[in-house]
Chain A
Amino acid sequence: MADSHLEIEQILAGDHKAFEAFVKRYQRLVSHIVFRMIRNDEDRRDICQDVFIKIHRSLSSFRHESKLSTWIGRVAYNRCLNYLEKKKVPLYEDLCNEGETVDSVIGSAVRPDEYAEDQDRSARLRHEIAGLPAQFRTIVTLYHLDEMTYLEIGDIMKLPEGTVKSYLFRARQLLKERLLAKYQPEEL
Protein backbone atom coordinates (compact mmCIF):
# COMPACT_ATOMS: atom_id res chain seq x y z
CA MET A 1 0.00 0.00 0.00
CA ALA A 2 1.29 3.43 -0.96
CA ASP A 3 2.51 5.85 1.69
CA SER A 4 -0.58 7.86 2.55
CA HIS A 5 1.41 11.01 3.38
CA LEU A 6 3.03 11.04 -0.02
CA GLU A 7 -0.18 10.20 -1.80
CA ILE A 8 -2.10 12.98 -0.05
CA GLU A 9 0.64 15.45 -0.93
CA GLN A 10 0.41 14.46 -4.57
CA ILE A 11 -3.35 14.86 -4.56
CA LEU A 12 -3.15 18.23 -2.85
CA ALA A 13 -0.59 19.31 -5.44
CA GLY A 14 -3.27 18.66 -8.06
CA ASP A 15 -2.12 15.25 -9.29
CA HIS A 16 -5.17 14.05 -11.16
CA LYS A 17 -3.95 10.48 -11.59
CA ALA A 18 -3.07 10.16 -7.92
CA PHE A 19 -6.61 11.11 -6.97
CA GLU A 20 -8.06 8.63 -9.45
CA ALA A 21 -5.96 5.86 -7.89
CA PHE A 22 -7.05 7.01 -4.45
CA VAL A 23 -10.73 6.81 -5.43
CA LYS A 24 -10.19 3.35 -6.90
CA ARG A 25 -8.63 2.15 -3.68
CA TYR A 26 -11.36 3.47 -1.39
CA GLN A 27 -14.49 3.26 -3.53
CA ARG A 28 -15.19 -0.20 -2.15
CA LEU A 29 -15.25 1.04 1.44
CA VAL A 30 -17.34 4.09 0.54
CA SER A 31 -19.83 2.01 -1.45
CA HIS A 32 -20.16 -0.44 1.45
CA ILE A 33 -21.24 2.33 3.79
CA VAL A 34 -23.38 4.25 1.32
CA PHE A 35 -25.16 1.20 -0.09
CA ARG A 36 -25.92 -0.07 3.39
CA MET A 37 -27.17 3.24 4.71
CA ILE A 38 -29.13 4.42 1.66
CA ARG A 39 -31.90 2.33 0.14
CA ASN A 40 -32.58 4.56 -2.85
CA ASP A 41 -30.65 3.09 -5.74
CA GLU A 42 -30.61 6.28 -7.79
CA ASP A 43 -29.14 8.40 -5.02
CA ARG A 44 -26.42 5.96 -3.98
CA ARG A 45 -24.06 6.68 -6.84
CA ASP A 46 -24.43 10.44 -6.49
CA ILE A 47 -23.73 10.19 -2.79
CA CYS A 48 -20.60 8.10 -3.39
CA GLN A 49 -19.44 10.79 -5.80
CA ASP A 50 -20.26 13.54 -3.31
CA VAL A 51 -18.27 11.75 -0.66
CA PHE A 52 -15.13 11.71 -2.77
CA ILE A 53 -15.51 15.32 -3.81
CA LYS A 54 -15.90 16.25 -0.18
CA ILE A 55 -12.85 14.16 0.71
CA HIS A 56 -10.84 15.90 -2.00
CA ARG A 57 -11.93 19.25 -0.64
CA SER A 58 -11.04 18.49 2.96
CA LEU A 59 -8.01 16.27 2.45
CA SER A 60 -5.74 19.12 3.51
CA SER A 61 -7.34 19.00 6.96
CA PHE A 62 -6.57 15.29 7.44
CA ARG A 63 -4.10 15.15 10.33
CA HIS A 64 -3.03 11.50 10.20
CA GLU A 65 -4.31 11.14 13.77
CA SER A 66 -6.59 8.31 12.74
CA LYS A 67 -6.29 5.77 9.95
CA LEU A 68 -7.07 7.20 6.54
CA SER A 69 -9.69 4.50 5.97
CA THR A 70 -11.45 5.40 9.22
CA TRP A 71 -11.46 9.07 8.29
CA ILE A 72 -12.87 8.29 4.84
CA GLY A 73 -15.48 6.05 6.45
CA ARG A 74 -16.49 8.86 8.75
CA VAL A 75 -16.95 11.31 5.86
CA ALA A 76 -19.08 8.73 4.03
CA TYR A 77 -21.16 7.88 7.10
CA ASN A 78 -21.79 11.53 7.95
CA ARG A 79 -22.82 12.24 4.39
CA CYS A 80 -25.35 9.42 4.63
CA LEU A 81 -26.72 10.69 7.94
CA ASN A 82 -27.09 14.10 6.38
CA TYR A 83 -28.99 12.60 3.45
CA LEU A 84 -31.29 10.57 5.71
CA GLU A 85 -31.96 13.61 7.84
CA LYS A 86 -32.94 15.62 4.78
CA LYS A 87 -35.18 12.81 3.58
CA LYS A 88 -36.55 12.47 7.11
CA VAL A 89 -35.70 8.77 7.23
CA PRO A 90 -35.55 7.76 10.89
CA LEU A 91 -32.41 6.12 12.20
CA TYR A 92 -33.26 3.29 14.56
CA GLU A 93 -30.61 4.43 16.94
CA ASP A 94 -32.78 7.41 17.83
CA LEU A 95 -35.63 5.15 18.87
CA CYS A 96 -33.76 2.96 21.29
CA ASN A 97 -31.83 3.93 24.37
CA GLU A 98 -30.29 0.91 26.03
CA GLY A 99 -29.86 -2.76 25.35
CA GLU A 100 -33.41 -3.92 26.00
CA THR A 101 -34.99 -1.49 23.58
CA VAL A 102 -32.64 -2.67 20.87
CA ASP A 103 -34.61 -5.91 20.86
CA SER A 104 -37.97 -4.20 20.55
CA VAL A 105 -36.59 -2.10 17.73
CA ILE A 106 -35.37 -5.14 15.86
CA GLY A 107 -38.70 -6.84 16.44
CA SER A 108 -40.50 -3.94 14.80
CA ALA A 109 -38.02 -3.48 11.97
CA VAL A 110 -39.50 -3.67 8.50
CA ARG A 111 -39.55 -7.26 7.31
CA PRO A 112 -40.97 -7.59 3.85
CA ASP A 113 -42.38 -11.08 3.58
CA GLU A 114 -42.60 -11.37 -0.15
CA TYR A 115 -39.67 -13.20 -1.64
CA ALA A 116 -39.17 -15.61 -4.43
CA GLU A 117 -38.76 -19.08 -3.01
CA ASP A 118 -36.32 -20.21 -5.64
CA GLN A 119 -33.81 -17.48 -4.85
CA ASP A 120 -30.41 -18.73 -3.87
CA ARG A 121 -29.13 -18.46 -0.36
CA SER A 122 -27.03 -15.36 -0.89
CA ALA A 123 -30.01 -13.54 -2.35
CA ARG A 124 -32.04 -14.60 0.69
CA LEU A 125 -29.32 -13.30 2.93
CA ARG A 126 -29.24 -9.97 1.09
CA HIS A 127 -33.00 -9.79 1.49
CA GLU A 128 -32.72 -10.37 5.24
CA ILE A 129 -29.89 -7.88 5.60
CA ALA A 130 -32.06 -5.30 3.86
CA GLY A 131 -34.65 -5.83 6.58
CA LEU A 132 -32.26 -4.82 9.34
CA PRO A 133 -31.92 -1.26 10.67
CA ALA A 134 -29.40 0.85 8.73
CA GLN A 135 -26.78 0.88 11.47
CA PHE A 136 -26.93 -2.90 11.89
CA ARG A 137 -26.47 -3.39 8.16
CA THR A 138 -23.50 -1.05 8.12
CA ILE A 139 -21.80 -2.61 11.14
CA VAL A 140 -22.14 -6.13 9.75
CA THR A 141 -20.66 -5.02 6.45
CA LEU A 142 -17.76 -3.04 7.90
CA TYR A 143 -16.90 -5.97 10.14
CA HIS A 144 -17.15 -8.79 7.63
CA LEU A 145 -16.24 -7.09 4.36
CA ASP A 146 -13.81 -4.39 5.43
CA GLU A 147 -12.45 -6.38 8.34
CA MET A 148 -12.61 -3.42 10.67
CA THR A 149 -12.35 -3.67 14.44
CA TYR A 150 -15.13 -2.64 16.85
CA LEU A 151 -13.05 0.41 17.68
CA GLU A 152 -12.65 1.49 14.06
CA ILE A 153 -16.34 0.98 13.35
CA GLY A 154 -17.21 2.93 16.48
CA ASP A 155 -14.91 5.70 15.34
CA ILE A 156 -16.72 5.93 12.00
CA MET A 157 -20.22 5.74 13.44
CA LYS A 158 -19.59 7.66 16.66
CA LEU A 159 -20.67 4.69 18.75
CA PRO A 160 -18.99 3.20 21.82
CA GLU A 161 -17.05 0.00 21.19
CA GLY A 162 -19.48 -1.95 23.39
CA THR A 163 -22.46 -0.76 21.37
CA VAL A 164 -20.83 -1.81 18.11
CA LYS A 165 -20.13 -5.21 19.60
CA SER A 166 -23.67 -5.69 20.85
CA TYR A 167 -25.26 -4.45 17.59
CA LEU A 168 -23.05 -6.80 15.61
CA PHE A 169 -24.03 -9.70 17.85
CA ARG A 170 -27.76 -8.91 17.65
CA ALA A 171 -27.64 -8.41 13.89
CA ARG A 172 -25.94 -11.73 13.25
CA GLN A 173 -28.12 -13.65 15.64
CA LEU A 174 -31.14 -12.17 13.97
CA LEU A 175 -29.88 -13.04 10.50
CA LYS A 176 -29.19 -16.59 11.53
CA GLU A 177 -32.61 -17.03 13.11
CA ARG A 178 -34.49 -15.47 10.24
CA LEU A 179 -32.68 -17.55 7.65
CA LEU A 180 -33.35 -20.70 9.64
CA ALA A 181 -36.95 -19.92 10.55
CA LYS A 182 -37.89 -18.96 7.04
CA TYR A 183 -36.06 -21.39 4.91
CA GLN A 184 -35.17 -24.47 6.84
CA PRO A 185 -38.62 -26.09 6.87
CA GLU A 186 -38.76 -26.07 3.07
CA GLU A 187 -35.31 -27.47 2.86
CA LEU A 188 -35.98 -30.43 5.11
Chain B
Amino acid sequence: MKSVHATEEQIQAYVDGIIGEDFALLSEHIENCEQCRETMHQYRALFGELADDTGFELPAGFARTVAAQVEVGKDGAVAPERWSPAVLFAILGPALMAAITFYILGYESLLSGLGDFGQTMLGNIDAMFTGCATYLQRLGLRPDLFLFTMLVLLVISGLDRLLRTLRHGKAMLLA
Protein backbone atom coordinates (compact mmCIF):
# COMPACT_ATOMS: atom_id res chain seq x y z
CA MET B 1 0.00 0.00 0.00
CA LYS B 2 2.85 2.35 0.81
CA SER B 3 4.21 2.22 -2.70
CA VAL B 4 0.94 3.52 -4.21
CA HIS B 5 0.75 7.28 -4.01
CA ALA B 6 -2.44 9.04 -3.02
CA THR B 7 -4.37 10.55 -5.92
CA GLU B 8 -4.73 14.30 -6.31
CA GLU B 9 -8.40 13.87 -5.51
CA GLN B 10 -7.62 12.01 -2.30
CA ILE B 11 -5.14 14.65 -1.23
CA GLN B 12 -7.62 17.44 -1.89
CA ALA B 13 -10.26 15.60 0.15
CA TYR B 14 -7.71 15.08 2.90
CA VAL B 15 -6.90 18.80 3.07
CA ASP B 16 -10.63 19.60 2.93
CA GLY B 17 -11.02 17.39 5.98
CA ILE B 18 -13.47 15.10 4.22
CA ILE B 19 -13.03 11.82 6.00
CA GLY B 20 -13.72 8.70 3.97
CA GLU B 21 -13.40 5.01 4.79
CA ASP B 22 -9.77 4.96 3.78
CA PHE B 23 -8.86 7.95 5.90
CA ALA B 24 -6.55 6.13 8.30
CA LEU B 25 -4.52 4.55 5.48
CA LEU B 26 -4.50 7.73 3.48
CA SER B 27 -3.39 9.82 6.40
CA GLU B 28 -0.61 7.39 7.24
CA HIS B 29 0.64 7.40 3.67
CA ILE B 30 0.55 11.15 3.23
CA GLU B 31 2.36 11.78 6.50
CA ASN B 32 5.08 9.31 5.59
CA CYS B 33 5.53 9.91 1.86
CA GLU B 34 7.57 12.93 0.93
CA GLN B 35 6.02 13.34 -2.50
CA CYS B 36 2.42 13.18 -1.28
CA ARG B 37 3.23 15.37 1.67
CA GLU B 38 4.64 17.98 -0.69
CA THR B 39 1.43 17.93 -2.77
CA MET B 40 -0.59 18.14 0.42
CA HIS B 41 1.32 21.27 1.49
CA GLN B 42 0.79 22.84 -1.92
CA TYR B 43 -2.94 22.28 -1.65
CA ARG B 44 -3.02 23.49 1.92
CA ALA B 45 -1.35 26.73 0.88
CA LEU B 46 -3.67 27.11 -2.11
CA PHE B 47 -6.82 26.52 -0.07
CA GLY B 48 -5.66 29.07 2.44
CA GLU B 49 -5.23 31.61 -0.31
CA LEU B 50 -8.57 30.76 -1.83
CA ALA B 51 -10.20 31.85 1.41
CA ASP B 52 -8.86 35.37 0.86
CA ASP B 53 -11.81 37.70 0.48
CA THR B 54 -10.28 40.52 -1.55
CA GLY B 55 -11.39 41.79 -4.92
CA PHE B 56 -15.12 41.75 -4.18
CA GLU B 57 -15.48 45.24 -2.78
CA LEU B 58 -18.75 47.02 -3.31
CA PRO B 59 -18.82 50.77 -2.79
CA ALA B 60 -19.27 52.02 0.77
CA GLY B 61 -22.92 52.63 1.53
CA PHE B 62 -24.04 50.05 -1.02
CA ALA B 63 -26.74 48.66 1.28
CA ARG B 64 -28.07 52.12 2.01
CA THR B 65 -28.22 52.99 -1.68
CA VAL B 66 -30.06 49.79 -2.54
CA ALA B 67 -32.53 50.22 0.33
CA ALA B 68 -33.19 53.80 -0.79
CA GLN B 69 -33.74 52.62 -4.35
CA VAL B 70 -36.32 50.12 -3.20
CA GLU B 71 -38.00 52.85 -1.17
CA VAL B 72 -38.31 55.00 -4.29
CA GLY B 73 -39.59 52.02 -6.20
CA LYS B 74 -42.41 51.62 -3.71
CA ASP B 75 -44.19 54.72 -4.98
CA GLY B 76 -43.41 53.95 -8.56
CA ALA B 77 -42.76 50.71 -10.29
CA VAL B 78 -42.64 47.98 -7.66
CA ALA B 79 -45.76 46.89 -5.81
CA PRO B 80 -48.39 49.42 -6.87
CA GLU B 81 -47.94 48.55 -10.55
CA ARG B 82 -51.56 47.50 -10.62
CA TRP B 83 -52.76 50.99 -9.72
CA SER B 84 -50.29 53.10 -11.64
CA PRO B 85 -51.73 56.00 -13.69
CA ALA B 86 -51.39 53.85 -16.78
CA VAL B 87 -53.82 51.31 -15.42
CA LEU B 88 -56.18 53.97 -14.13
CA PHE B 89 -56.36 55.58 -17.56
CA ALA B 90 -56.78 52.26 -19.24
CA ILE B 91 -59.78 51.49 -17.04
CA LEU B 92 -61.30 54.92 -16.37
CA GLY B 93 -60.69 56.32 -19.86
CA PRO B 94 -63.05 54.03 -21.78
CA ALA B 95 -65.58 54.31 -18.95
CA LEU B 96 -65.55 58.12 -19.22
CA MET B 97 -65.78 57.92 -22.99
CA ALA B 98 -68.78 55.68 -22.69
CA ALA B 99 -70.37 58.03 -20.17
CA ILE B 100 -69.90 61.08 -22.45
CA THR B 101 -71.25 59.20 -25.45
CA PHE B 102 -74.19 58.12 -23.35
CA TYR B 103 -74.77 61.73 -22.24
CA ILE B 104 -74.57 63.18 -25.74
CA LEU B 105 -76.72 60.54 -27.40
CA GLY B 106 -79.28 60.60 -24.61
CA TYR B 107 -81.17 57.88 -22.83
CA GLU B 108 -83.67 57.21 -25.62
CA SER B 109 -81.17 56.13 -28.25
CA LEU B 110 -79.41 53.91 -25.73
CA LEU B 111 -82.64 52.23 -24.70
CA SER B 112 -83.74 51.77 -28.32
CA GLY B 113 -80.25 50.39 -28.97
CA LEU B 114 -80.85 47.83 -26.24
CA GLY B 115 -84.22 47.00 -27.78
CA ASP B 116 -82.53 46.31 -31.08
CA PHE B 117 -80.31 43.77 -29.43
CA GLY B 118 -82.50 40.87 -30.43
CA GLN B 119 -82.15 41.68 -34.10
CA THR B 120 -79.53 40.22 -36.43
CA MET B 121 -75.86 41.17 -36.18
CA LEU B 122 -76.10 43.13 -39.38
CA GLY B 123 -78.90 45.16 -37.92
CA ASN B 124 -76.79 45.91 -34.86
CA ILE B 125 -73.77 46.94 -36.87
CA ASP B 126 -75.98 49.11 -39.04
CA ALA B 127 -77.44 50.71 -35.92
CA MET B 128 -73.93 51.29 -34.62
CA PHE B 129 -72.84 53.05 -37.78
CA THR B 130 -75.99 55.16 -37.79
CA GLY B 131 -75.42 55.91 -34.14
CA CYS B 132 -71.85 57.00 -34.81
CA ALA B 133 -72.90 59.19 -37.72
CA THR B 134 -75.61 60.84 -35.62
CA TYR B 135 -73.14 61.19 -32.84
CA LEU B 136 -70.54 62.93 -35.00
CA GLN B 137 -73.19 65.18 -36.49
CA ARG B 138 -74.41 66.17 -33.10
CA LEU B 139 -70.92 66.85 -31.78
CA GLY B 140 -70.15 69.52 -34.34
CA LEU B 141 -67.40 71.73 -32.97
CA ARG B 142 -68.55 71.72 -29.39
CA PRO B 143 -66.13 71.63 -26.41
CA ASP B 144 -67.21 68.02 -25.92
CA LEU B 145 -65.26 67.15 -29.05
CA PHE B 146 -62.10 68.62 -27.54
CA LEU B 147 -62.60 66.72 -24.31
CA PHE B 148 -63.32 63.57 -26.24
CA THR B 149 -60.13 63.89 -28.32
CA MET B 150 -58.12 64.48 -25.16
CA LEU B 151 -59.57 61.37 -23.61
CA VAL B 152 -58.78 59.28 -26.67
CA LEU B 153 -55.17 60.47 -26.51
CA LEU B 154 -54.99 59.76 -22.80
CA VAL B 155 -56.38 56.27 -23.29
CA ILE B 156 -53.85 55.56 -26.02
CA SER B 157 -50.94 56.75 -23.92
CA GLY B 158 -52.35 54.90 -20.93
CA LEU B 159 -52.54 51.65 -22.88
CA ASP B 160 -49.05 52.19 -24.21
CA ARG B 161 -47.68 52.64 -20.72
CA LEU B 162 -49.63 49.66 -19.49
CA LEU B 163 -48.15 47.47 -22.21
CA ARG B 164 -44.67 48.71 -21.44
CA THR B 165 -45.14 48.06 -17.73
CA LEU B 166 -46.33 44.54 -18.47
CA ARG B 167 -43.45 43.85 -20.82
CA HIS B 168 -41.00 45.21 -18.28
CA GLY B 169 -42.57 43.08 -15.57
CA LYS B 170 -42.20 40.02 -17.76
CA ALA B 171 -38.57 40.82 -18.42
CA MET B 172 -38.00 41.16 -14.70
CA LEU B 173 -39.58 37.77 -14.11
CA LEU B 174 -37.32 36.18 -16.67
CA ALA B 175 -34.25 37.87 -15.26
Across-interface contacts of B42 in A (CB, < 8 A)? 176, 180
Across-interface contacts of A28 in B (CB, < 8 A)? 53, 56
- Bound-state CA distance A79–B172 (Å) is 10
Given A28-B56, A125-B50, the answer on whether A16 and B43 have CB atoms closer than 8 Å is no
Q: Which of A17-25, A96-104, A105-113, A156-164 contacts B (4 or more CB under 8 A)?
A: A17-25
**B52-A122 in contact (CB<8A):** yes
**A53-B64 in contact (CB<8A):** no
Q: A9 → chain B, closest Cβ, in Å?
A: 16
Across-interface contacts of B78 in A (CB, < 8 A)? 56-57
Across-interface contacts of A27 in B (CB, < 8 A)? 58, 62-63
**A173-B50 in contact (CB<8A):** no
Closest A-chain residue to B63, C-beta based? A23
The answer to whether B74 has its CB under 8 Å from any CB of chain A is: yes
**Interface residues of B toward A: which range?**
20 to 34
- Bound-state CA distance A141–B53 (Å) is 9
**B66-A169 in contact (CB<8A):** no
Pick the residue among A32, A35, A79, A144 that contacts B175 (CB under 8 A). Answer: A79
- Bound-state CA distance A47–B172 (Å) is 13
Across-interface contacts of A24 in B (CB, < 8 A)? 63
**A172-B56 in contact (CB<8A):** no
Q: A95 → chain B, closest Cβ, in Å?
A: 23
Given A23-B66, A122-B52, the answer on whether A54 and B172 have CB atoms closer than 8 Å is yes
- Bound-state CA distance A54–B51 (Å) is 28
Pick the residue among B51, B53, B63 that contacts A20 (CB under 8 A). Answer: B63
Give a binary string over B37-81; 1 marks a CB under 8 Å from any A CB, 0 the rest. Answer: 000001100110111111111110011111101110110001000
- Bound-state CA distance A54–B168 (Å) is 13
- Number of A interface residues, CB 8 Å? 40
Q: B14 → chain A, closest Cβ, in Å?
A: 13
**A49-B9 in contact (CB<8A):** no
The answer to whether B101 has its CB under 8 Å from any CB of chain A is: no
Closest B-chain residue to A52, C-beta based? B66
The answer to whether A37 has its CB under 8 Å from any CB of chain B is: no
**B65-A176 in contact (CB<8A):** no
Across-interface contacts of B54 in A (CB, < 8 A)? 122, 126
The answer to whether A84 has its CB under 8 Å from any CB of chain B is: no
The answer to whether A5 has its CB under 8 Å from any CB of chain B is: no
**B46-A145 in contact (CB<8A):** no
**A176-B62 in contact (CB<8A):** no
The answer to whether B8 has its CB under 8 Å from any CB of chain A is: yes
**A14-B73 in contact (CB<8A):** no
The answer to whether A93 has its CB under 8 Å from any CB of chain B is: no
- Bound-state CA distance A122–B58 (Å) is 20
**A82-B174 in contact (CB<8A):** yes
Q: B54 → chain A, closest Cβ, in Å?
A: 7
**B49-A122 in contact (CB<8A):** yes
Q: List 5 A-B contacts (CB under 8 A).
A: A21-B63, A45-B58, A53-B73, A144-B50, A179-B46
Residues on B facing A (Cβ under 8 Å): 8-9, 12, 42-43, 46-47, 49-59, 62-67, 69-71, 73-74, 78, 172, 174-175
